[in-house]
Every structure is written in structure tokens, then in C-alpha cells.
Amino acid sequence: MEAAGKEEISVEDEAVDKNIFKDCSKIAFYRRQKQQLSRRATYQASLDSATTGKDSTKFRIINETTKVPLLVEVYGIEGNIFRLKINEETPLKPRYEVPDVLTSKPSTVRLISCAGDADSLVLADGKGDLKCHITANPFKIDLVSEEEVVMSINSLGQLYFEHLQIPLKQRATKENKEDTSVDASQEDQEDLGLWEEKFGKFVDVKVNGPASIGLDFSLHGFEHLYGIPQHAESHQLKNTSDGDAYRLYNLDVYGYKIHDKMGIYGSVPYLLAHKPGRTLGIFWLNASETLVEINTEPAVKYTLTQMGPVAAKQKVRCRTDVHWMSESGIIDVFLLTGPTPSDVFGQYSYLTGTQAMPPLFSLGYHQCRWNYEDEQDVKAVDAGFDEHDIPYDVMWLDIEHTEGKRYFTWDKKRFPNPRRMQELLRSKNRKLVVISDPHIKIDPDYSVYVKAKEQGFFVRNHEGGDFEGVCWPGLSSYLDFTNPKVREWYSGLFMFSAYQGSTDILYIWNDMNEPSVFRGPELTMQKNAIHHGNWEHRELHNIYGFYQQMATAEGLIQRSKGKERPFVLTRSFFAGSQKYGAVWTGDNTAEWSYLKISIPMLLTLSITGISFCGADVGGFVGNPEAELLVRWYQAGAYQPFFRGHATMNTKRREPWLFGEENTQLIREAIRQRYALLPYWYSLFYRAHVAAQPVMRPLWIEFPEELDTFGVEDEYMLGSALLVHPVTEPKASTVDVFLPGSNEVWYDSKTFALWEGARTVKIPVALDTGCGQIVAAPR
């Protein structure tokens, strides 16, 4: 929603201050892994002692340098999924394993040992068409489908595992001092951030020292990878250079830079690889800060004899290497073997759930602003839609509707009678959405704060007291949503008896839940803050917002006694957030480039399970010119979540404020949205029951056509509509690529006909709408 603290970022500042946020060179575990991996220490597997049980096959691997063993578990999972877990065999204390993301314990398929000796082991699922070839020295796994190696794990030797250590001050002997997975002299310790990591004025103290993990995956024959949101980047993932990895770390980045791999509001550690005939997925289940490096090697640059005897039988192909690195936790990765895009979507949803079925009203148009000033302002804006004959369904209120940023309250002067305001909206079959952030104002007269403090429901600092940070209300504490009791209590706050002034047409917007802490490191919470179960924040940072949305959605379900579907929009998210509602792309800017980047950003969210997604129409930051605003409405009408929003220091931009001609164009765009509501609702039903994305990149519908694999300026809505928004100023034509050599396409307005497998140049004017929408009956 808002600027991340005016103390740090000026609203007028369009460029992100890189001094506030880390790049890879400032991330200690990245520097350590790059340094250590250059020394090529390898792991060796003890396959002669491998055991195969009902659920998994287990064996040890040992680092040749440290001699410390790790336990490897390989699972076969129903639906052509493999799971690989690697953990310390005997850690000092349990390492964090991400709970609550998987919908249930996955049903396992017993793996059968087809062949094996001390040097190798072959495991197959019951059908035998998928096999894991495990090599002992050096440790490596090849995933084989129909005698073709499709993926190799640790073939580059980038498996990395830092073992939990006794704190330096407690070490009594020289032997203990030498027990470290990172060989670092005293001078190197500070630079490598082993026990303390400095960034600006902040010092991150690590009680158990370094604990990062990493692993490489080689995808044979694949050049096109997608996923790992959220980044303001192209849909197809780019090769990364040293120091330029994709970062997954949820942060409040106001007016984020585009074409940048820095982490922004949400993280889904899941990517897809696609080539004609095969789609794969890699789901890296880790909620700590994560970095992903990608490198595609053309076939001419290497020979597969380097990849082992199984792979050597393959014809020479291109290869893409993916290197995952996380600050802590364990290696827990799911390999989704497809083979089709639809199969991969089903496999991922089997693990993390499908998109929640939205209530019909939420698929209409939403009107928002930071802030509608008072009840009279709401009444006037609501009447403006009627006066100008523009349909809309939902009015939104930002933080100024509360009493001093105390959530679950109303400003008594501005909103003295919230029930009456809601009854006005109800009389026109409209709804209200209000904001509820995770920070709670420290105020002994604020009942929500008092009750949470009494019950110990706040995140704690590393010294044991309540964590305190600055956000919109000033000094605040942060609810610990990782605690089931906190979530249960928070859900109860949405009951009508608890939330005075609320009615059954009121729904919720969770914002600032990365969590945003204005004066914290990178504007977020210190990593050594303590959560339920005594887990440090570093272990679970990326899942904090996921838990708030979970608790909010449950609260709305309980409020209606299970009779109504909830609507909850969240800014921060993780894998599985689709089960609880909608997501948007945060604090975008009123520039043409942000309109353009919204398409690949939403496509990436869509293929990683989050179908209910959108971008603020018009751009949150700044003042759009009339042409840009019109084009954004025309584009937004064909994106899943459709909301106009603007920050508080911008000019008012309700749809009728730009002259009659532009009002007519915006009216028409919004009406087009409503004309297609039955189709939208049907698509969301398919997303809910069958995990099929609503908004689809062309390669999903045309998986054998190489020309579609890099397209990101147009997309399919379901399988029937192709959408090509106009994203350039003063455009007079657009080049629309029509895939499918056997397809026939029709202009949905003029009914002009084209055959597929070509690019057509289509004239556009401002009243043309969303470039062209063309339908293909198939």
C-alpha cells in the first residue's frame, strides 16, 4: 500500500535507495557459499547401508573435508513427484522445517530398488517409468524418465550445508573451536558473517553461527524457466551473473525498480522448466532468505560425459543449471515431473492447495485510495459511479479510517457511523474492504494491544521482551502469527461482537505484512527476533504474511459460520497463499513501464499457483496522464484482480475526473469486465478444482510451439481469449502474435478472421480497448 516510512523514503523518490536494501555482495551466506564452493569439497554417499522403508529410502552422505555426516531421504509421492530431504544426522538442536504450507502429509509411493551396489543405487516408482539414479562418489542424483535424464542434482558439486555450532564463548576445547563447516580465520569471521553480520548500523547476532544450505539442479534440454515470484522482472527467468541472483526475501519496497532481481513483497520458492514434450517443477520448501542463480549452457559448450555414465548416453543438449541457496533450515525439495504443464500445476496444487474460490463480487471492479477522507467522501464517490453509470462492486478504506492507526477501530470524527455507511453500500449490493496490518500500536488504552500483551502474543526480541518497531501508528509490537493460538485469537477479532461497527459486507486487506518495520534492517524485522517455538525470525521470515492472511480468512469464515466465502487481499505471500485469497503487486508507479511489467509479473504469479492477482490500476505512486490511466483500465479489466488505487499525495483520479471522452473510455473498459464475469467465474472455478491458471502465458496453451515460450506482452485468459494490452504511449498499431498453425482466431469486436502461426499488425486507437481480444473456438 504505502511508502515504507517517510523517515527513510521520500514519496517523490522514484529510484529505490539501494543503501537501504542488500545486494548479493552484502549477504554473508552468499559470500560464504561462493567462497567455499570454489574449493570444490565433495560429498560421498554410503549407499551400501541405504535402507528402504514404507515411506522413503535413507542413506548417509559425508563431506570429505569436515567428515560430518548428513542424512538423505528420498520419497516417492503420489502423482509423479519425488521429494528429497537433507538434514544433519545429529544436529545440536532441531533445524526448522516449514510447517502449514503443505495441505496434508503427502501420500507416499514405495520406491523399489531396481539395482544397486556400493557405487550406485537405482530407485523406481511402482510404474517404473521414473527412476532416481544415485551415484555414491561424488554424491549425485539423476532423475530419469523413459531412459532420458531430465534432471541431475548436485552434478556441479554445489551441495552446501553449514552445521549448527556451539557458540564460540561456550567452547571449552581447541577441538570444538575447529568444529566448523566454514574454514575461516579470525580475520575472516567478520567478513563472512559467521557469528555476527553487519549491515549499516545493524548487527545480526547468530546464536548458533552460520547455518546456510545450498544445492544445484541441472535441467537437461531446458532453456526456458519461469517462476520464483516476486520480482519486477520478465516472465522468462534470466541468466544470473555473479552477485546478481534472484532474491526471495519479503520486503516493503516502495516504488520498486523494474527489471531487477531484488526481493519485494512476496516469495514463492518454486520454478518451472519447459521444453517441447516436457514440463518440470522444482519446489524448494524453505522460508528463510533464499537466493537463486540460473545459468543456461548451450549444447556446444559442454559434453555430457562430464555428467556421469547415465547422462553420457544422451544426445548432446543444452542445459540450464539452477543453484538454490538459503540462510537456514534444511534442504526439502519437491521435484514435479509433469510431464505436461497441466500435470505440473496439479502436482503443485496437490502439495500446497488450489486457489480459493473467490466470492463473485470480488471479481468486479474495486475502488481504493489512501485515503477516502470520511463518510461523506465515501458517499460522494459511491454516488459518482452511479451518476456516471460506471459499475463497481467494492469501496476500500485505507489506514486513515481507524482511530490513530489502531486496527479494528474507526475514527470517531471521520467515520462516526460506519454501520450506516455500510448499509448505504449494501442497499446498492456493494461491499466494503478495510485494512488490517500486523503491527499493533503500543498503547495501554488500546484493547487489542492490551489483550495481546497479556497473553504473550507478540513476537519477542532476542532478549526476551516484546519486539518493538516503528510503523504507521508509531511504536508498535507485532503479532506472532506463527503461533496457532495467536491466529485463533486474531480470527476472533473479526466477529461482529468484537469488531464494533463491522457488518457482513465488510472484508479485509492485509498490508505491511512482510513485516514492514520502518527503522529496521532493510525496513523489516531483525532476524534474531523470536517466534513461537523459540524459532528465530530468520527461519520463517518469508512465511509471516502467509500466516496473517490464513488467520484473517479463517476469521471471516468463522464470522459467517462457514456460510460465506471470505475475501482477503494480502501484500506479502508464500507458497500456498492461494488457499486464502488474493495478492497484488504492491507499490507500483504511474509510468508506462510499470503497466508493461505488470503482465509478466502477473503471469509468473499465475503459474505458481496464485491465480487471484492484480496490479494497482493507474499506478500507486505518482499521477498518471489521462492516456496512461485509460490504457491501464483497459489492461486491468482483463487481469484477475481489478482495483484502482493511489497514494495519499496524488491527485484524485476517480474515473470521471479526466473529461467526458476519457470517462466514456474507462466506463467501457469496466463494462467489458462485467460483460465477461460469467467467464471469469468459470475460470476461477477451474482454478479452484483443477489448478488451471486463470491468466496463462501462451506456452501453457501451446506447449509445443517454441515461438510462444518467450512471449510476455500478451496472454490467454483460459483457453478461449487471447489478450494483448496496449502498453506504449500514442500507439497506432500493435503486433499481435497468433499461435497455432491449425488455429483460427477471431477479433471479438469486429469478427475479423485470421489463421494462426503468424503475427498480425492491428491498428489501435484510444477507444480500441485492450489492444485486441481475439477468440479461438477450439
CA angle in degrees (0–180, nearest 5) for 558-559-564: 85
Q: Give me the residues paired with residue 143 across strands.
A: 132, 151
Q: Give me the residues paired with residue 122 across strands.
A: 115, 133
pLDDT confidence band for 190 (50 / 70 / 90): low
Q: How many CB atoms lie within 10 A of CB 740?
A: 19
Nearest Cα to 600, choosing from 615, 589, 612?
Answer: 615
Q: What is the pLDDT of residue 639?
A: 98
Q: Residue 15 pLDDT > 90, yes or no? A: no
Least confident of 309-323, 328-342, 482-496, 712-726: 309-323
Q: Residue 6 pLDDT > 50, yes or no? A: no
Q: How far apart are CA 649 and CA 362, in angstroms?
A: 27
Higher pLDDT pick, 151 / 188: 151
What element of type H or E holds 56? strand 56-63
480 phi, psi to nearest 5 deg: -90, 85
Domains defined along the chain, listed by start: 24-96+110-163+209-299+316-352 (2.60.40.1760), 698-775 (2.60.40.1180)
Q: What is the pLDDT of residue 310?
A: 53
- Strand segments, DSSP code E, in 525-609 are 530-531, 535-536, 568-570, 582-584
Share of the chain above pLDDT 70, in %: 92
Q: What is the pLDDT of residue 301?
A: 45
Q: How far apart are CA 520 and CA 625, in angstroms?
A: 35
Q: Where are the alpha helices (DSSP H) in 608-722?
A: 626-636, 660-675, 677-690, 698-701
Tell me if 491 sits within 8 A of 554, measured CB to CB.
Answer: yes
Taken in order 610, 679, 361, 656, the sign of the CA dihedral is: positive
Nearest Cα to 683, choosing from 354, 309, 455?
Answer: 354
Q: What is the pLDDT of residue 302?
A: 44
Q: What is the pLDDT of residue 17?
A: 76
Rounded mean pLDDT, 393-413: 98
Q: Radius of gyration over alpha carbons of the chain, in Å?
A: 26
Q: How far apart are CA 490 and CA 485, in angstroms?
A: 8
For residue 357, with 0-12 CB atoms within 10 Å meaning exposed, 13-18 middle and 19 or more buried, which class applies? middle
pLDDT confidence band for 9 (50 / 70 / 90): very low
Rounded mean pLDDT, 662-666: 98
Q: How far apart are CA 698 and CA 300, in angstroms?
A: 29
* Residue-wise pLDDT tens digits, 194-208: 999 999 999 999 998
Q: Residue 7 pLDDT > 60, yes or no? A: no
Indicate which residue of 293, 321, 514, 522 is catalytic: 514
- What average pLDDT does the chain have? 92
Q: What is the pLDDT of residue 13?
A: 41
Higher pLDDT pick, 178 / 684: 684
Rounded mean pLDDT, 498-518: 98
Q: Residue 651 pLDDT > 90, yes or no? A: yes
Residue type, 521: P
Rounded mean pLDDT, 611-632: 98
Tell me if 477 sits within 8 A of 441, measured CB to CB.
Answer: no
Q: Residue 176 pLDDT > 50, yes or no? A: no
Q: Residue 773 pLDDT > 90, yes or no? A: no
Q: How far apart are CA 451 and CA 690, in angstroms?
A: 42
Q: What is the pLDDT of residue 715?
A: 98
pLDDT confidence band for 695 (50 / 70 / 90): very high
Q: Residue 581 pLDDT > 80, yes or no? A: yes
Rounded mean pLDDT, 740-761: 93
Q: What is the DSSP letter of 359?
A: P
Tell me if 683 sits within 8 A of 696, measured CB to CB.
Answer: no
Residue type, 450: V
Q: How far apart are CA 78 and CA 226, in angstroms?
A: 24
Q: Where are the alpha helices (DSSP H) in 280-398?
A: 309-312, 341-352, 375-387
What element of type H or E holds 450? helix 447-454
* Residue-wise pLDDT tens digits, 517-574: 999 999 999 999 999 999 999 999 999 999 999 999 999 999 999 999 999 999 999 9
Tell me if 326 sits within 8 A of 216, measured CB to CB.
Answer: no
Residue 511 annotated to the active site: yes
User: How large is the angle between the packed helices 592-607 and 626-636, nearest 10 degrees?
Assistant: 10
pLDDT confidence band for 463 (50 / 70 / 90): very high
pLDDT confidence band for 317 (50 / 70 / 90): confident
Q: Is the pTM of the predicted complex or chain greater than 0.85? A: yes
CA distances from 163 to 32, 38, 170, 333, 525 (A): 13, 19, 16, 19, 24
Question: How many helices and strands in the chain, by DSSP H and E?
Answer: 16, 42
* Residue-wise pLDDT tens digits, 112-149: 998 878 899 999 987 878 999 999 999 999 999 988 99
pLDDT confidence band for 300 (50 / 70 / 90): low
* Residue-wise pLDDT tens digits, 438-455: 999 999 999 999 999 999
Q: What is the pLDDT of residue 152?
A: 98
* Residue-wise pLDDT tens digits, 214-238: 999 999 999 999 999 999 999 999 9
Indicate which residue of 511, 616, 701, 712 is catalytic: 511
Residue 587 annotated to the active site: yes
Least confident of 99-113, 142-156, 300-314, 354-368: 300-314
* Residue-wise pLDDT tens digits, 249-292: 999 999 999 999 999 999 999 999 999 999 999 999 999 999 99
Residues 6+ apart with CB under 8 A from 731: 764
Q: What is the pLDDT of residue 759?
A: 96
Indicate which residue of 522, 587, 701, 712 is catalytic: 587
Tell me the CA end-to-end span of the chain in Å, nearest whole number. Answer: 41
pLDDT confidence band for 650 (50 / 70 / 90): very high
Residue type, 337: T
CA distances from 364 to 17, 552, 640 (A): 36, 21, 9
